[in-house]
Structure 1
Amino acid sequence: SKASEWLAAVVYEDPWLAGGHNGLSNAEDPRAPQDPYPRVRDLRATMREGGISDDVPIVMAGGVWALKDWNDWIDNPELGSIMFQFGTRPLLTQESPIPQAWKDRLMQLEPGDVLLHKFSPTGFYSSAIRNPFLRSLEARSDRQIPFSTEQAGDHTHQLDVGVKGKNFWVTLGDLTRAREWFGAGFTSALKTPDNTLVFVTEEEKAEIRKDQADCMGCLSQCAFSSWMDSETNSTGRLADPRSFCIQKSLQESVHGGDLDKNLLFAGHAAYRFKQDPFYSNGFVPTVKQLVDRILTGD
């Protein structure tokens, strides 16, 4: 309110539906999406309390596909001025710089094919296509057991696989699981910052270690490599093998790398490419054609 005259707009990003990194807080349940309307209504009320004019628009972002879906938001006195941000639909335009294979993938998606996850080394939740790359990270985290460095509590059994003679104590059930993973080819156990071990193949271990060593410091702090932009250049925490090098993955995605092995950001409405008749027979619009379509309400 102290500088309201400089405020051009306020963006509300739906953290359950927006693509890429989003603002889901620790107080919110990633598995329990909330209706954006009450949240935006409350945002407008807060803005009014601060003396901010209704002429300053709230920009609704995340889950926006067609304006006809938002008829009850437009010219609504509870909400004041409203604008809409389209992030996913412009990916599938002739001018979009993403590879053709990525565009083709967008037109094949089904509901549920975009995953809200927390594997990003930023520590934030983000949404991306649930391809083999993300599925492998899900599976890696599932192959995870807590440990103690000495016998304590229910950690009564010494781990005898994946740790090459190091002393780790686990539960009997986790020992059984670890032996099963080892027998399936996941023969290396890597420590995480949370006093757990994840089981990976030797090939995965080599890639993880190389990517961590090759860290170029693209983030102010990185969970995957433990890099931090500080005097010590370290977060002080163990590098986390449950994450990945986001710089490497995004570079490969946009420069023709294997789309099954890299991160593909998209919003949760991306499945509508396959359902929307506008994209029938593989039609890819120009940006102008897309804008004209959006202005029809579709």
Structure 2
Amino acid sequence: MDVLSYQLTRARARGAVFSALRRVAPWGLAFTGRRPLTAHILLDGAGWLTPSQEEPVRLAAGDVVLATAGDPYEIVSEVGADIETITDARRRGSDHGPGQASHIVCGAYVVEGSVGKSLLESLPRFARIPAHAQNPRHRDAISLLAAEAEGTGSGQQVLLDRLLDLNLVYALRTWWQQEHQRAPGWYRALTDPRLARVIQAIHAHPERTWRVESMARTAEMSRAGFSATFKEIIGQSPGSYLTQLRMGHAEDALLRTDATLAAIAADVGYTNEFAFATAFRRAHGLPPGQWRATHRPTLQREATTTAAQRDAVHRSDTL
């Protein structure tokens, strides 16, 4: 698995709530801004993103906007247009009358854990990926998403979910290429072949006994040169990065499996349960067993809520 795939998988970045709406101008949609990560795609027509604390941003056909959590905002056909909440819009369904129409796709993502937090911190409040800057395959995926959103065939929801996930990968790639200095450190490191070998190796096998010396050998660099380059590009020491990676694996295992602490310790590269518990408590403020007992019920409640939301949205969109 490549590093971007790993990060998105660990962050559980997948579509949770989805809608595809046709609107005839003038129109406006209001969003609470509470979702950790939401993607908006203006499939055709034109519009405006109107944040509550910023100047409006012009949107053209094919533009993608990634929105992280914050103040409420709106997407409108023209500044000053009457608006309705996205909840009411989903309940009402698409407009089918004549006039200047736009189709807009909105998908909220589930993003979890420290890996998800790191991913979100690399994004601004709004990241706009204009159509002209998109990879041709990204534009093809958006076209396919638009076509599928218009259909009613069997398996449609699964296809829409996967296409929404595909959009996120392409959008993140493009944004980080455009805003390289704002990209996560691991992504910046992938542009350096020496560091890329190390990042890929420790992501593939975090349980191995990694030392700075062994990482430097993998990079084919001196120990001092490797440490300095790693910290300059990634923003943290090799040891800190490895610990953070292992903690991400541990979080996942604690929340989603019934594995013992000893088994988890071995899987993430610690020689014994005590060493693992010490490192985990230093990173999280709680021992792993207590952290599991505190966070697992929350995860289960959120999963139940998400499933109910998906069912409600799907029913309202097919009315």
What interval of TM-score do these two structures reach, taking the shorter chain for normalisation? under 0.3
Higher helix share: 2
TM-score normalised by length of structure 1: 0.25
Q: Which is bigger in relative contact order (C-alpha 8 A, separation at least 6)?
A: 1
Higher strand share: 2
TM-score normalised by length of structure 2: 0.24
Compare CA radii of gyration and give the structure with the larger one.
1
